[in-house]
Amino acid sequence: MAREPTTGRAQVVTTKDFNERVKRLLADKPDPRKAEPKTRGFKNSKPPVKE
């Protein structure tokens, strides 16, 4: 699917070609929707009262 520029100008890329390239690029990456939420590193307690 690599295109050789013959005129030195930008080549037209169809939406189908673009989508196929994106699918190939993202094929080996993990799915971001499956990421687990991070646990928070702080406690929900009241701060000490200063007198």
Spell out the per-residue pLDDT of the chain, length 51, in tens: 556 666 778 888 899 999 999 999 888 887 767 667 777 776 667 776 776
Would you state the pLDDT for residue 39? 74
CB-CB contact of 11 with 3 (8 Å):
yes
Q: What angle do CA 19, 23, 21 make, to 5 degrees?
A: 55
Handedness of CA 19, 20, 22, 27 (dihedral sign): positive
Would you state the pLDDT for residue 18? 93
CA 5 from chain centre, in angstroms, equals 29
Would you state the pLDDT for residue 11? 82
What is the length of the chain?
Answer: 51
